[in-house]
Amino acid sequence: MPELRLATFNCENLMMRCDFRRAGIKRARERLTEVDDALVAAQVDSVFNVLSEDDRTLTAEALSVTQAEVCALQEVENLVTLTAFDTRYLARWSGAEYEDRILLEGNDTRGIDVGLLSRLPVIHYRSHARETYGRLGLSPPNGQSVNDYAFRRDCLEADILKDGRVLTLFVCHFKSMYGGRHKTRAIRQAEAQAVRLIIERRFPDPAAAEWVILGDFNDYFERDGQALHDHGLGPLVDDGFAVDLVTHAVADPYDRWTHHYNGDDTYGALDHIFLSPALAQRNARPHVRIVRAGTPFRARRYEGARFPGVGWSEPKASDHCPLAATLQFEGRPLAP
């Protein structure tokens, strides 16, 4: 039975902001979003040195500790940024570049997207960024219309092949809490419902199929270890449609946090890996790791060792922690 090491990580503003008119690179803007080419990444980077050396070194070190074969990433600007990060930073720590790099442009107004790095073949992938509430048959939240996009960023669907078997991933980055957690909850709830509908459309019997939803969902089931019931992720978990891996695998609720918000010094798990019921049953005791060594020292609940160079607030790997798990799956046979 195949075994897969999987991670999700919000890299926090992994961006390459360039003055394209000065770059001297033909079709620079288009190429940044369509070419998986380390030479293009190096050319842009050599002109502007646009990736922060300290922060991105720590980001790469944190991600490499997961030893993940497949990494779902959030807050990545474009494909060349992802390539530059992989080839210039991550490969130094992990020992080799990732063979497959996937990023499709989503809907975020800041230009941050979800992406995928994989050492395994990605045999199929597609974006759901252009799904509207109307096409999905969803009632839009207040202030939205049926013609508005259902996802603030994207839901990236990808089929991963290992040992002749296929596992499907859905990589997400839901609406932030900016503007207030309760005021923005309805949007995240609609996004959760949209992911569920996409999975139900893909799999005739979702409970019996094997799939994973993972990413930054910008909402938590617990805050400072105390259970909450006012989150926007109900469509994914309330009736057992999916199982939250960390809740399932980590007994101590105080040890489930992946994010520290310095504004009110609270700790919660914004990053999740959700398993289908069949996959959760197969992984009754999964190995789960939350990598906190790249968090700044102001996140005082973590008392373990930090990576060299981490500061009180900066530099840091991210404002999130990588979440990783080793999963066994039966999957589906590769179609002839």
Residue 270, domain extent:
3-333
Measured between alpha carbons, how far is residue 300 from residues 149, 160, 182, 237 in Å?
Answer: 39, 37, 27, 31
Total domains, the chain: 1
Rounded to a whole number of angstroms, the CA Rg of the chain reads 19
Domain of 7, CATH number, reads 3.60.10.10
Instruction: Find the largest Cα–Cα distance for the chain.
Output: 55
- How would you write the pLDDT of the chain (336 residues) with one tens digit per residue? 899 999 999 999 998 765 444 445 555 555 555 555 555 555 555 444 456 789 999 999 999 999 999 999 999 999 989 998 999 999 999 999 999 999 999 999 988 999 999 999 999 999 999 999 999 999 999 999 999 999 999 999 999 999 999 999 999 999 999 999 999 999 999 999 999 999 999 999 999 999 999 999 999 999 999 999 999 999 999 999 999 999 999 999 999 999 999 999 999 999 999 999 999 999 999 999 999 999 999 999 999 999 999 999 999 999 999 999 999 999 999 876
